[in-house]
Amino acid sequence: MNASTQMQPALLLPEIIVFVGGLAVLLGGSFLPRHRQWISRAAAALVLLVTAIVAALAMAGPPQTAFSGTFAVDTATGAARVIAVLSTLLILGIASGELAGSRRESDTYALLLFATTGVMVLAGATDLLVLIVGFLLASIPLYAIVGLTGGAAGAEAAMKTYFLGALSGIILMLGVTVLYALTGGTDYARLAEALPGAHFGAVGVGVLCVLAGLLFKAGGVPFHFWVPDAAQGTGVTAATFLTTVPKIGAIVAIYRFVGTMSVGNDSWLIVVAILATASMFLGNLAAYWQRDPRRLLGWSTVAQVGFLLVPVAAAGRSDLALPSMLFYLGAYALANIGAFAVTAALPDCRDLTSYRGLARTRPGLAAALLVSLLGLVGIPPLAVFVGKFTTATAAWDGGHGWLALLVMINSLLSLFYYLRWFGPVFARPTSGSPGFPSLRGSARWPWATAAIASIASLGLGISAGFLWQGLAGELLF
């Protein structure tokens, strides 16, 4: 990587565009009447679209660092930027159906942009102080989003998220303090140089504290408790965002941090492998007993974090680790957004049995749900299948054959609780079955989002070979 001692703020142009766009949406929305809040939505969508283009173009350049080596602009950062902003763009489609005409519509769009900025900062951080900034910028707007979009239940979910987030933030900063005391610096290059000679117990405390904070952002064990509660209690816009976008930056940040800590000490890779195993099994087993579809997807998110941590356990040991993780992040985002979009199109269906007869009444919506859920399982030719296959291969190459086996076992386990959702969808409706509302008006936006996400998931899976060659080749060469 070409380290630079210059500030080079232009390298952070995607982050600057999204943050300034959030300010513009927040201020501009204050002067718009309620029936014209769609202008704020259009402005937010334009900001995200422009950012995606700028971030994609930046990936064509060589890897660089900004602000004296504290922020990396490389393929991992570029991929995280593109995935995060396009995911938020799709989530705006869900918000269009849920929030149109509400009092806090523009405020919510601005908060989504601010949180997305924090996610992108997390992804590129190569200094512990920048990591803290990204964590806070991604977390504080999230608390407000959860509270604004869910009514009384959303307020309760926001409090749970806030208290656990505050605790994890304190633990993260404690870890940063310990590592700074041991090394006299916070940049990753300094940590890699000084930590091998430091006291192992103190290093362990610092590393585990930083990992704990990042795992809250990702929604993985042991700071996972807020995810299913927030997914169930808040509005579907917030639920989709919090189960999708924050983990993009958090997983990339964990990969960078663990890769740095593992220089000369592979024991941290074992720790990540154990955390991945715990997240996979706990998320899948807890999801099986859920009847609320959003809570089920919340526990599914915990399990998916486990799958995403698998390539992190092979960091530095396998050339497949980073490209497989980035591909999986994009594939998961599409499948998860598609599933939540279906629940947004049917807001009154808060029990799995209420989906009975959906395939006969709304076949298009049922097809989108089928593609999304099978995508989360990892069935070919959908994109998550490629992600799971390559992450398992990376674990095998990295010397964790047992972890590759657990990926396959947990993929099979996940199929069983998704079948509990498939069953009513394809069952024959009974005379007492409630009807489904017409997919018109506000329901058109979530339905369109579900269709786009499911088609994109299928297209990404079919074109995976071509995309994989470009992604892996850019990382290797």
pLDDT in the model for residue 1: 43
Which residue ranges make up each domain of the chain? Answer: 289-477
Within 10 A of 42 (CB to CB), how many other CB atoms are there? Answer: 14
pLDDT in the model for residue 433: 60
pLDDT in the model for residue 200: 87
pLDDT in the model for residue 447: 92
Within 10 A of 34 (CB to CB), how many other CB atoms are there? Answer: 11
Judge if pTM exceeds 0.85. yes
Rg value, the chain, Cα? 21
pLDDT in the model for residue 5: 45
Q: What is the pLDDT along the chain (477 residues), one digit of tens a residue?
A: 444 446 688 899 999 999 999 999 999 988 888 778 889 999 999 999 999 999 999 988 888 999 988 999 999 999 999 999 999 999 999 998 888 877 888 999 999 999 999 999 999 999 999 999 999 999 999 999 988 876 677 788 888 899 999 999 999 999 999 999 999 999 999 999 998 888 889 999 999 999 999 999 999 999 998 999 999 999 999 999 999 999 999 999 999 999 999 877 788 999 999 999 999 999 999 999 999 999 999 999 999 999 999 999 999 899 999 999 999 999 999 999 999 999 999 988 999 999 999 998 889 999 999 999 999 999 999 999 999 999 999 999 999 999 999 999 999 999 999 999 999 998 887 765 656 666 665 678 999 999 999 999 999 999 888 777 766 655 543
